[in-house]
Amino acid sequence: MKTPSDRTRLIAGATQRGRGRRPVNPPVERASTMLSDRADQMRDESLGPVYGLAGTTAARELRTALAGLEGAAESWIVPSGLAAVTVPLLAVARPGDEIIASDAVYGPSRRFLSRWMTARGVSVRFHAAEASAEEVAGLIGETTRAVLIESPASLTMDMLDAPALAAAARAKGVISIMDNTWGAGLAFKPLRHGVDISVQAVTKYAAGHSDLLMGAIATNDAALGRAIDGTIEDVGWHVSPDDAWLALRGLRTLPLRMTEQARSALEITTWLGQQPEVARVLYPPLPSDPGHALWARDYSGAASLFGLEMKGGTTEAGRAFLDALSLFGLGYSWGGYESLATHETHQMAYRQSPARLAGELLRFHVGLEDPADLIADLDIGLAAWRKALKA
């Protein structure tokens, strides 16, 4: 039999034989204390977790499913996507080390690097959002310990050549960590492309219903795995059984949701790109996007998150656009079944070299609604934008 695809494997994990009479989905087991029959069994991990902190059945099944998705020997879950970024950095960086990351990296990841890491003797260097893999590799020095790759980068969706950068880092003995939240372990497989540690916010597509926060970390490197495992143990992170159960439930339908949402996003971004008010649609699957060639080479799919760079405009016009929408929720995060919109121009302020934008920057997440209805809603938003600029 041919190797089943992700879509099949994520479900086959539930129906696997040989596990006795049981429900399709694991029970939610809430536990701190785990009881043993005999004193000599109390520390025997082959009989199951000896303490709730290690996670009960749903958490273990989720970790197995995520490891399979990432093509990893092992995966770990932590209480947020941000923790999935910070744990590997905590695991590998020592005082005197340097970390390299993009100027366009996810804001809270940047804050952790700039505030927590630098206060503890780790220096941080940010490279230009548009840098090539060679340019980033050129920054690697004697003290560089890790490169944090986020592609496409938050808000401006700049693509990095992750395979080339990971290879250059490895050649110099530097660890590569990729925040693959946009790829969700499905559209892009960091470990298969030579990245050492793959992380993602399960909060987004994997969970898929905007009702929990979680992060996942995966690696095939045994030593890095031990360091990650030890760090999670040291800092005491734990994921609740309810959240693990919900994330596992979400994961079964990840391929269907993400594929459908990406199909809608392509239709909507293509339409938006033809509107006279729009300067640029920031979305690598579009042939007009500067990152399109890298996306087409390495990705088997896409997220449904994109930026909309307007021609000029004002904060008020940006707000009028969002306020006129009735099918897009106004809220942060993404990857759920619902469409969302945010106004992001101000976020450029923390960058060393803010992106040169032609105007206001809006961000949209396309959900599972009918794309024709979403386009009609965006058309109303554009009318409100024009009206606000005339007033």
**Contact set with ligand PLP (CB under 6 A):** 80-82, 85, 106, 150, 154, 179, 181, 201, 203-204, 213, 215, 333
Closest separation in Å from C-beta 284 to ligand PLP = 14
Residue with Cβ nearer ligand PLP (255 or 335): 335
Tell the smallest beta-carbon distance from residue 215 to ligand PLP (Å).
6
Query: Residue 27: phi, psi to the nearest 5?
Result: -70, 155
Cβ closest to ligand PLP, residue 208 vs residue 215: 215
CB of 86 to ligand PLP, least distance (A): 10
Q: Which residue has the tokens 């997440």?
A: 365
* Tokens read off for 52: 């709730």
Exposure b/e, 236-247, CB count within 10 A at least 16 = b: ebebbbebbbbb
**Nearer to ligand PLP by C-beta: 9 or 343?**
343
Min separation Cβ 180 and ligand PLP, Å? 8
Main-chain dihedrals φ then ψ at residue 81, nearest 5 degrees: -65, -35
Q: Which is nearer to ligand PLP, 181 or 261 (CB)?
A: 181
Q: Please tell me the distance from the alpha carbon of residue 129 to that of residue 136, in angstroms, as a whole number.
A: 10
Strands 175-179 and 197-201: parallel
Please identify, using beta-carbon distances, which residue of 81 and 255 lies nearer to ligand PLP.
Answer: 81
- Nearest distance from C-beta of residue 273 to ligand PLP, angstroms: 23
Burial class (CB in 10 A: 0-12, 13-18, 19+), 141: exposed
User: Smaller CB distance to ligand PLP: residue 168 or 184?
Assistant: 184
Per-residue exposure over 187-224, b if at least 16 CB sit within 10 Å of its own CB, e if not: bbbbbebbbbbbbbbbbbbbbbebebbbbbbbbbeeeb
Angle separating helix axes 81-92 and 222-235, nearest 10 degrees? 110
Three-point CA angle 96, 101, 105, nearest 5°: 135
Q: Which two tokens stand for residue 33?
A: 């204390």
Q: How far is the CB of 213 from ligand PLP (least distance, A)?
A: 4
User: What distance in Å separates the CA atoms of residue 178 and residue 180, rounded to the nearest whole number?
Assistant: 6
Packing angle, helices 254-273 and 241-252, rounded to 10: 70
Give the residue with the Cβ less far from ligand PLP, 80 or 144.
80
- Whole-number minimum distance, CB 238 to ligand PLP, in Å? 15
Residue type, 178: M
Handedness of CA 257, 263, 267, 272 (dihedral sign): positive
Q: Cβ 127 to ligand PLP, closest distance in Å?
A: 17
Closer of 79 and 273 to ligand PLP (Cβ): 79
State in angstroms the smallest separation of the CB of 124 from ligand PLP: 17
Q: Taking the complex as a whole, how short is the minimal distance between the CB of residue 111 and ligand PLP, in angstroms?
A: 12
Nearer to ligand PLP, 246 or 320 (CB): 246
- Decide whether 91 or 278 has the Cβ nearer to ligand PLP: 91
Task: Say whether 200 sits in a helix, a strand or coil.
Answer: strand
Q: Who contacts 217 (Cβ-Cβ below 8 Å, separation ≥6)?
A: 75, 76, 77, 78, 84, 87, 88, 197, 198, 199, 228
| Closest of 387, 366, 362 to residue 310, by C-alpha | 362
Nearest position to ligand PLP, beta carbon: 81
